[in-house]
Structure 1
Amino acid sequence: MQSRNPVSRTGRPRSAAADTAILAATRDALVELGWSRLTLGDVATRAGVAKTTLYRRWPGKNELVVDAVAALFDELEMPDRGSLAADIEGVVLQFAAILVRPETKSGLMAVVAESTHDDALRERIRASIVDRQKRLVLEGRARAQRRGELPPEPDPEEAARAVDLIFDMVAGAVVHRTLVSAEPVDREWAGAFTRVLVMGLGPGRSQ
């Protein structure tokens, strides 16, 4: 007689297709209804799933919207463009293009505002968006080190601090430019920003 799989007793496996449909429906609802009118019931209807299915995955609207926005940022890539500067410029333009989407603006601004008085939500934003996208900094630095454009950093703590700083500089500048100043991030701006980031502001910087 076949032995039972112990995993089968823990319940039905989570469906990736249902997750994708729910997150897409959340983004659609954000654009159409806005943050204040979005409800989990409406999202469940749009996604074609039972409300209980949604509640098993997300405890509330805040967490659902964070994950819906985080999925957009997972589209970011850093293809090898031949140099550190070109790599940074490429990801800056991608990042800005995601930020100006209506669903990103609605969701990101809303959960950031909510997180000012919700420590658990702030931690979810950090884990689901910030920490997850630091992979791009790690990838870009490693590639630049292999090219000889950046020196290796044998101290793990110093390397981690450098990753945090680079991420904060890039993300902070692009978010401020697109969502606060409401100015375009075009190739001219991305190129100028990249030159400052890579070369600094000293008198020896190339013009």
Structure 2
Amino acid sequence: MSSRSPASRTGRPRSAAADAAILAATREALVELGWSRLTLGDVALRAGVAKTTLYRRWPGKNELVVDAVAELFDELELPDRGSLAADIEGVVLQFAEILARPEARSGLMAVVAESTLDASLRERIRTSVVERQKRLVREGRSRAQRRGELPPDPDPRAAERSVDLIFDVVAGAVVHRGLVSAGPVDGPWARDFTALLLAGLATPPSP
């Protein structure tokens, strides 16, 4: 799993406390000001750091907001509830709880909207959020295979395609439910969604 803070640079050592303060201040500013009014100067003031400290770490607002949102999703953990179905339900509900936070909703919707016209921002979202959280799918599949709930992977390339697809299905469904259709992501919904997902997982991926 990647580190939560952005990649370090040469020169003066990074301060984890400063990074945490800056990312927290970014999320606070997103909720209060929104994307369009948020500035790096405001974030620096809220975090109690010099603007030069912030600019040494992030080249611009896009990168800063993506990392602030990514830190929230790094809180996700795959629970061990004894079965694949229960594990999936648990992580789906965790994901929904994070999305329900005003700072997560504001930040995610803002960067996704901005990324439609910015290829570098889309790549930042992919590497900082999507690729990092695919760890949950890999962990869940491996655990279910050890339990005998899923067949072994027939081919590593097919398995990785399956990881990509499972992540897209889970993340897409929860984000759409929570942020687009505004329906509850509660226990009954998570159970129904998991049952639908498991019906597809019962078939091994094609090589």
Is TM-score (shorter-chain normalized) higher than 0.5?
Answer: yes
Structure 1 runs of 4+ aligned residues shifted over 6 Å read none
What residue in structure 2 maps to residue 120 of structure 1? 120
Give the deviation of 1:152 after TM superposition: 0.8
SS at match of 1:182: coil
Letter in 2 for 1:12: R
Q: In the alignment, which residue of structure 1 is the partner of 2:192?
A: 192
How far, CA to CA, are the matches of 1:40 and 1:79 in structure 2? 37
CA distance in 1, matches of 2:11, 2:197: 50
Q: Does 1:90 align with 2:93?
A: no
1:38 positional shift: 0.6
* Higher mean displacement: 142-151 or 154-163: 154-163
- 2:110 & 2:188 partners in 1: Cα distance? 30
* Residue number in structure 2 paired with 1:102: 102
In structure 1, what is the equivalent of residue 204 of structure 2? none
Aligned residue for 2:138? Answer: 138
Distance in 2 between residues matched to 1:182 and 1:192, nearest whole Å? 17
Aligned equivalents of 2:143, 2:12: Cα separation in 1: 42
CA shift for structure 1 position 11:
2.2
| 1:1-207 superposed matches below 5 A | 10-200=10-200
User: Distance in 2 between the 1:183 and 1:98 partners?
Assistant: 15
Number of residue pairs the alignment of both structures matches:
191
| Structure 1: runs of 5+ lacking an equivalent | 1-9, 201-207
Partner of 1:5: none
In the TM superposition, residue 102 of structure 1 has moved relative to its aligned partner by 0.5
Question: Structure 2: how far apart are the matches of 1:114 and 1:28?
Answer: 19
Consecutive unaligned residues of structure 2, counting only runs of 5 or more, are 1-9, 201-207
For each residue in 1:138-173, what CA deviation from the matched residue of structure 2 results, as whole angstroms up to 9, or x when unmatched?
000000000000011141100100000100110000
Letter in structure 2 aligned against 1:41: G
Letter of the 1:81 counterpart: R
Q: Bigger radius of gyration, 1 or 2?
A: 1
**Counterpart secondary structure, 2:41:** helix
Q: Give the whole-Å Cα distance in 2 for the aligned partners of 1:37 and 1:154.
A: 51
Cα offsets for 1:182-205 (capped at 9, x unmatched): 1110001001100111024xxxxx
CA distance in 1, matches of 2:115, 2:199: 35
User: How far is 1:100 from its partner?
Assistant: 1.2
What residue identity is the alignment partner of 1:161? R
Q: CA RMSD in A?
A: 0.8
CA distance, structure 2, for counterparts of residue 165 and residue 173 of structure 1: 12
> TM-score scaled by structure 2?
0.91
